Structure 1
Amino acid sequence: MQALALFDLDDTLVDRGKAFNAWAEEFVAAHGLDEKALTFLVVTDAGHSGPMNDYFATVRETFDLAERPGQLWERYRGRMPELASCRSEDLDALGRLRRAGWRIGIVTNGMTDNQLTKIRNTGLDALVDTWCISDEVGIRKPDPEIFRLAARRCGASPEGGGWMVGDSLDLDIAGGRAAGLRTIWLPPKHRPEPSSRPAAAPDFTVGSVAEAVGVILAAT
């Protein structure tokens, strides 16, 4: 198996939950809302998937805000990348993986400006070889072609195997497996697990990126 490791960004490499909670606290303070509003923002986000326009339409209606949903979303999109962070132990683990000769890529759904700012602000750009952002490449997970494209950008053969690490059973695990990769699942901490049976089961389940890197290095 070739030395290729691909990683999801939000809630895998980047602690999105921590960033979102910080944003929600700022939002509540800025709009003069209370603790119940903070809980509503966090819980509603946990049950939401996909673009955030519907989320902010709900927020505007619930709190009777003057701003349009698009305005709320635009401010959110500008602030969230500034709040993004990675766990130091995960960054150290990526460094170990790279020093061991592995090619590393990021595969993420999202808008190019947001995701690229997160990658650069957290220092991930210095630790990975490439990234594929769905908005940039016109392909969204779980389409296996986005994983194949990331492999090619790493100078690897899509058919040569490798690993995909992520928090979504449907997007990361099923998509990675369809592309011919072994998979490692990080169960999401801020979202409920899917109630339906996933399309594919992971090869391994771990609690952090650092643990996932340990699995990858031990399996070679």
Structure 2
Amino acid sequence: MSETLGELQERRARGPRSMLMLFDLDDTLVHRRAVFSSWAEEFASQYPEQSGLAAWLTAEDQDGLRPREELWSRVKTRLSLDLPVERLVSDWQEVFVARYAVDPDTLDALRRARSQRWRLGVVTNGDAAVQAAKIAAAGLAPLVDGICISGAEGVAKPHREIFDLAALRCGADLVGGWMIGDSPLADIQGAHNAGLNSVWIADEGIAWPPEHRPPTRSAATVSAAVDLILSLPTQEPVRRS
């Protein structure tokens, strides 16, 4: 059973405070786009008469932002499937989530941070059961001190409250802490809202969207982001520009 906010605050007050790193899940700790692309190619191979099906699925998925029922309603129509949408979604989620894995470089980075006494947490938006299953499949739970899933907590990134809860659950302070993620709004603006430093994870050649406040730093991978933070002689203040 999850601790109440009051219990978390009391536990933190009793112990020493530690430095905090928070991580997004999808397309940060785990490469969701690659997982979906791999699944789409395999699924499309079952329908060789459907030219371009894998690319169509990837576009329709909208990086996971399209509601699952809406996505599978479209798939059902295109492929003339007999099963109800609810069953299609359920069957897909079971197969898809099982593909989640953390690459070795990211695992090593998490271990390096923990060896230097950083507290680590996962903060992710999404359905509670689905995101928890992803975390379990990826084997992340033993490597972090706290997990916050918006669907379970009733609050989502970029709202400050979910970061407050994550810090309490990890037994650390937000002050001087870091948020590492790929979303300019949910992760980086969320970090600003919570008073955290931030590292934006972005593929090479991707420009920062000018309508959003910039991150403290940027990096191509979680491993690079962790090493950057660990290399700093002192904790940088949050950029206010």
Task: Report the equivalent of 2:119.
Answer: 103
Residue 30 of structure 1 deviates from its aligned partner by 3.7
Q: CA deviation at 1:13?
A: 0.3
List alignment gaps of at least 5 residues for structure 2: 1-16, 235-241
Code of the residue aligned with 1:11 in structure 2: it is: D
Counterpart CA distance in 2 for 1:115 and 1:193 is 28
CA contact (8 A) 1:170 1:198 kept: no
- Decide whether the 8 Å contact of 1:97 with 1:213 is kept in 2: yes
Q: For residue 215 of structure 2, what is the amino acid of its counterpart?
A: P
Between the aligned partners of 1:81 and 1:178, the Cα distance in structure 2 is: 30
Query: TM-score with structure 2 length normalisation?
Result: 0.81
1:47 shift after superposition: 5.7
2: CA distance between counterparts of 1:119 and 1:62? 31
Residue 214 of structure 1 aligns with which residue? 227
Contact 1:2 1:161 in 2 (8 A): no
Q: Contact conserved, 1:2 with 1:162, CA < 8 A, in 2?
A: no
Structure 1 vs Structure 2 CA RMSD: 2.3
| Shift in alpha-carbon separation, 1:41–1:6, aligned structure 2, 3 A | same
Residue 199 of structure 2, aligned match among 181, 184, 196: 184
- Provide the C-alpha distance between the structure 2 equivalents of 1:24 and 1:33, rounded to a whole number of angstroms: 15
Show the counterpart of 2:177: 162
Question: 2:27–2:33: 8 Å Cα contact kept in structure 1?
Answer: yes
Question: Any conservation in 2 of the 1:48–1:55 contact (CA below 8 Å)?
Answer: no
Percent identity (aligned): 38
The answer to whether the 8 A contact 2:101-2:139 is kept is no
Residue aligned with 2:45, SS: helix
**Farther off after superposition, 162-171 or 138-147:** 138-147
The amino acid that maps onto 1:185 is W
> Which TM-score applies when normalising by structure 1?
0.88
Q: 1:106 to 1:78 in 2, by over 3 A?
A: same
The residue type paired with residue 57 of structure 1 is: S
In 1, the alpha carbon distance for the partners of 2:63 and 2:37 equals 15
Q: Does 1:142 align with 2:158?
A: yes
Structure 1 spans left out of the alignment, 5+ residues: none
For residues 175-208 of structure 1, the C-alpha deviation after alignment (integer angstroms, 9 at most, x for no partner) is 111001001111268xx989x6443211111110
**Which one has a bigger Cα radius of gyration?**
2
Quote the residue 1:126 is aligned against: 142
